[in-house]
Amino acid sequence: MNVPVRAVEQVTPRALRVALDSRGATCAFRPGQAVWLGRLDQAVRKPYSIASAPSDHHRDGVMEFLVGLDDDGHPGAHLADLEEGTVVEATGPIGGIELTALDDRSPVLLVAGGTGVAPLRSIWRELLAQPTTPPLAVVYSARRGEDFAFGDELLRLQHEGLARVAMTVTRDDATWQGLRGRVSADLLARNCGQPANTRCAICGPAAFVAHVAHGLTRLGVPLAQIATERW
């Protein structure tokens, strides 16, 4: 489908939030899925996880993405110079990270590394849009405080009592007042109250995902209840 850009915002030094105007477009996707994106005047298409929920699309006609930037602050020619009204081709959905189906009230733990927060945001927004919301916790690791995409949204959810949130930085950051260090076994234990019944989803770099998955299994989370996506 060909859809125009509704908004572009730089949300971290290395990522853009790109909102596409999907009103009127047929786009049936599940939380955590991805699509191929590229400008109409470019041949290259690359996969991006959808960072908004199906309920956002149905309500507001919007699909959001996190688009990573290189060291020079560019997303690549396939998505260069995006602005309101730029037409982008979106093909899919493809793949995705999905929670294991237990019962609707089974606790949910989402663990993100860097821009791996994108598909997990789709999941938490869809969960919170449902009439019945399970106990929800989000653990988010980034290099520095400035690298937390959707950090304000998560803090608002925590303030409103909708989610338990832990954000930790792994690099020196004199301005950061929160948690520091890698996602540890202790941090996972504090946010996974019922390991045997908790549905987990992890997204981030391959080493991060492997580290967190190992930590969760040691806590007692069955491997079948851990969904992963890595790059």
- In sequence order, what E strands does the chain have? 2-12, 15-21, 34-39, 46-49, 62-68, 87-94, 108-113, 136-142, 164-169, 179-180, 199-204, 226-230
| The predicted structure's pLDDT at residue 102 | 67
What are the structural domain ranges in the chain?
2-94, 108-230
Q: Would 2-94 and 108-230 be classified into the same CATH topology?
A: no
Class level of CATH domain 2-94:
mainly beta
- The pLDDT tens digits for 118-157 are 999 999 999 999 998 999 999 999 999 999 999 999 999 9
- Whole-number mean pLDDT of the chain? 95
Whether the predicted pLDDT of 185 surpasses 80: yes
Measured between its terminal Cα atoms, the distance across the chain in Å is 26
Split at pLDDT 50, 70, 90, the class of 25 is confident
Contact (Cβ atoms closer than 8 angstroms) between residue 134 and residue 225: no
pLDDT above 70 covers a percentage of the chain that reads 100
Whether the predicted pLDDT of 187 surpasses 70: yes
| The predicted structure's pLDDT at residue 111 | 98
The CATH-assigned architecture of domain 108-230 is 3-Layer(aba) Sandwich (3.40)
Letter string b/e over residues 32-66, b meaning 16 or more CB atoms within 10 A of that residue's CB: bbbbbbbbeeeeebeebbbbbbbbbbeeebbbbbb
CA distances from 182 to 70, 177, 218 (A): 24, 16, 17
Whether the predicted pLDDT of 101 surpasses 80: no
Query: Most distant CA pair in the chain: distance in Å?
Result: 50
Interhelix angle 151-159/117-128, nearest 10 degrees:
30
Whether the predicted pLDDT of 84 surpasses 70: yes
Average pLDDT over residues 179-207: 96
Whether the predicted pLDDT of 90 surpasses 80: yes
Three-class secondary structure of residue 231 per DSSP: coil
